[in-house]
Structure 1
Amino acid sequence: MDTTLTDPLVGHTLDGRYRVESRIARGGMASVYLALDVRLDRMVAVKVMHRSLAEDPQFVRRFIGEAKSVASLSHPNVVHVFDQGTDGDHVYLSMEYFPGKTLRDVLRERGRIPAREALEIMIPVLAALGAAHQAGLIHRDVKPENVLLTEDGRVKVVDFGLARAIEASNQTKSGIMIGTIAYMSPEQVTAGVADVRADVYAAGIVLYELLTGHQPYQGESPMSVAYRHVHDSVPAPSQLAPETPPALDELVLSATAKEPDRRPADAAAMLIAAVEAHRGLARTSGQHTAPAIQAPVQHTTIQPSFDLPAAAPGAKRKSRPIWFIAGLAVVMLVGIAFSGWYFSQERTLKVPNLVSQNVKLAEQQARKLGFQVKIGEARFDGKVAKDIVLETEPASGQEVDKDTVLTIIASAGPETVPVPKTENLSEADARLRISEAGLTVSRVRKTASDKIARGLVVRSDPVVGKRVRKGSSVILVVSAGLLAPDVTGMMRDQAQQFLASKGYPTDCVNEVTDDAAAGTVIAQDPAGGAEMEATTKICMTVSRGPDTPFWPWERDPSIAAPDFVNVPDVRFKDVNDARRELQAAGFDVKVRKVVGGRRVIAQNPVGQVPQGTRITLWH
């Protein structure tokens, strides 16, 4: 069934102007339709973005900006953009319409393409990219799907700026970008940055595919292909297609160098190398396919050679000497050089679109185009990473005098602020100070303190002075006041020593008969954890031991007495080291926190005990 019959856009008039006649193609990002411009009575190609992209406001804004930049690019090998607009939830571009095939279609039909014809396809592509680079535009998605071969033999490049809009949106998925990954430069994979040399890299991959019929890297997933772009070097095409001339091997390897600085500086530089390689093919073969050369101050183009009708019977074929061919190639190169000189003499420059590029790369690109550049004061931005260009002054697309200073404003990243001092403030005052600093309080945690009065802030988390992202949250730790330390279970002398070190009186001791070992603190008043004043006396109740013998074998002669072993004295050691030492000696260990330090302040029992007895440690 013809899917165009069920496409709801067929028969619809977009924006009251473009009557959709049929669907030409459908891709991961958009569908392309043949439409009639009812105002100008001409056929156009309309690219309509898929709804998932059209619903992303960030994509729509970037898409409109890129469309404006591309619309100003005029070159015979670039599909010209006429218009951009929205119709309900449809976001579209209207462009020149050319019957023909994509380079991908040609590769599917023919496989590898002879060296001469491959060059005659690539030269117009490079001419288009070179013109874009001169205007401050980067394609970012050079691949066979974006190269059209028209029915009358012309080569056209499409989709300038669309990849940039996609990458800036929330819609970048492997399902959309798989076709791009096969042509993605190492720096795009590792750092997400692209300048004109990323287009050169992609053009080198396309040339490799034309010569061999295959992409250089194959993988089970997009990530495996991306990995190979970063870690492997593109092989010479002649390894797969032995008939490939050395000059084309050299051109591919130069364009696909992993380090951007080792590639041609831009597409115009690669164009010159491609023309030279084409001239070398003509010289070695003794044949020549005449290129179409326009006036020197215009863009130089070479059209691919297609099978021509045979000469009429009896017609005399004229041969041209090799010097004529060489001279013609020289004219081409002179034309390119003159074109660059001519445009460099213009009194005005067009501001390139540098937004979303790394500030250093943006500065290099602007200076290369002839601008005087000033790096303005960076501006905080919560959504754009540090050192990425936010805007330029003048804005992109404007025509300015040649001596105009271009100011680049980059992101300083998210704004950070220091955590303010809140110690000894009330909870209410601390919350106010945190708020004034541009932060919020996420929660309040209480802790005992013998130095900070109850209800006042002890500390914050993160700590005072630490720089955190503006708007982030802080935890306040508030004093619960002085809480009675829990010394139950300690031996009397150890408990008294500990309380004395904290400044508490130790003379309030009551002794009672109890089943606990003699000298063990069995109770205290106030109880451990209870609120108290600094002058409160802690009274301990201490066991004097049971009325009957403590050990069961002392009470019952039928029970055999175990072997007694010495308990290592681990007081004042690191609590973790102490635990390990006792466990290694065969004891069961229980740890209790009384002050929370790292050192053991008490242990019970001490002396000699049966093997396997539980030892309690306090820290």
Structure 2
Amino acid sequence: MCLPSPWQTARKLTPVDTTVADPLVGRVLDGRYRVESRVARGGMAAVYLALDIRLDRTVALKVMHRSLAEDPDFVRRFIGEAKSVASLSHPNVVHVFDQGTDGEHVYLSMEYVPGRTLRDVLRDRGRLPAREALEIMIPVLAALGAAHQAGMVHRDVKPENVLLTDDGRVKVVDFGLARAVDAGNQTKTGVMIGTIAYMSPEQVTAGVADARSDVYAAGVMLFELLTGHQPYQGENPMSVAYRHVHDRVPAPSSLAADVPPPLDALVLSATDRDQNRRPADATALLVAAVEAHRVLPRDMGPQRPPTGAAAPRSSGVLTAGAPPANPTLIHSRTEMLTAPAVAAPEARRRGRFRPNWFIVALVLVMIAGMAASGWWFSEGRYAKVPDLLGQNVTIAASEAKKQGFKVRLGPAEHDDKVAADRVLRTDPESGNEVLKGTTITLIPSAGKVKIAVPNVVNLSESDARSKISDVGLAVGLVSRVPSDTVQRGLVMRTSPLVGNKVTKGGKVQLVLSAGQLMPDVSEMQCDQAEAFLRQKGYQPAVVQQTDKAQPGTVIAQSPSARAEVTAGQAVQLTCSKGPDTGFHWPWENPDNVQPGQALVPIPDVRFKNVSDATRELRAAGFRVRVRRIAGAGAVVAENPLGQAPQGTRITIWH
């Protein structure tokens, strides 16, 4: 079967080797997902077909590679993918159902959609007819428009990330590179994410991507659908990137003469090198694409055969071979008014009457007038309210205005099924016949009900759970971290933070205090350890003991490191007074220094920023070991101090 594009990440997927047994196949992850088979393996994750035994449905599991799961930053990015895509409720976006961790396995649970990628279609068929190309691009732009309105940028729009399902739907996939766009700072600079062939000039030059960058990539993709080729070819990626920055994407008709002008204009607008001259986002480009599709000749693509041959509705206009709107009325009046004209030949033969051409003309005018009045009162003044339900409010308003209606936006209403900013209902309802020019009120959906996270800080876990449940939310992950200020077992903070809004029924994570834990001051110089502990509120006492460890350093402590303690507790430090044998450290006795091992001063970096301290010690020729103890950014202790040969390891605590 073809690989479903939801699992084609930014790195290219490798074929599945069915001869190698996968240890995950047959397992049940997180007590819920029974892994049936491996579908594909990519640079970031492997994709499995699995059964959600709780909901009895087939899903796709995207499981991060073990080596990457050990990197906390990469895990955060992986989880960020789930949160970004899960927030999109759109029929043209592959849905993310769940995210979780089972031991060393970090995974996403996604909608399983068998089908072919648009790249597969292009590879099999070459370029597509204009109408068919637009009918693929329109749902793609609708999906991207939903993402842009949610503050997300896809960053990697290309045929590989468009899936044509077996039942004819179009899905945009792989929002793994999408990142939430801050209101004031659209994206972080300096990171170039995407595929060179579809990358906008600003992505190439500055690593900056926003909604207009997706518009550019969509324009390049439409160019490829219409011509069968990407606009720029080169020997290497850098040459292609150079052309994106310095050349203008040509009109598709320069390669395929049958491409109509509206599609040329659409591509050239979307791929303008100046991002300020492109459509502002995918929704704006969608409006233009729908209009281009409307004006295309019907023979620009494959035609669907008629279904249900209904007779065309009469307009009431008198035409040859067609009856008037009210034939009986018009026939009787015509017969009465045209009697002299009918009798004219007979009168002429008898020489008693000449036709009155004024009356003949008057009869024709009356017939036309009555036919026109039939059209006016039958259907000329009336039109059906279009079906706008589920459409983007902006697009729906534009469509209604094109059909001659006035539009008013009503107050938004919450709905669990219709996404925010889409038409929930109309007044009058769709299908009703009303006078043209009637005002249609669009009631947009406000999406699911959002509930503010209640203030549960300093409450016990059970009280916090009760308070969160009372407002219609649920408690998710519960973690514990040490704290010198918050009593053990009480809530320190929530995620999302107190006051932020969460979809009704959504989960709130709790961070509980693990209480005060004994700091690890082993190997620290005794005077520094004693001063640090007094500053933290403990009562340290020092005892000396013969030991081979460097004199004046802590060799033991009681309570032990990370034991639960209370403020003001007594602490015993055991410090080395050196060996009895007269052993000396090399830097204390210059006679023991090996040739070429000159002693150099050790910089005193206490109370400096840990980053600056590390750089200063390394610049002086020392190795550096950093130990976290106080949770602050400044160095609180350093060992050894004084002089030492270059290459000696210096330990700093912060």
Point out which structure has higher relative CO (alpha carbons under 8 A, 6+ apart): 1
TM-score (norm 1): 0.49
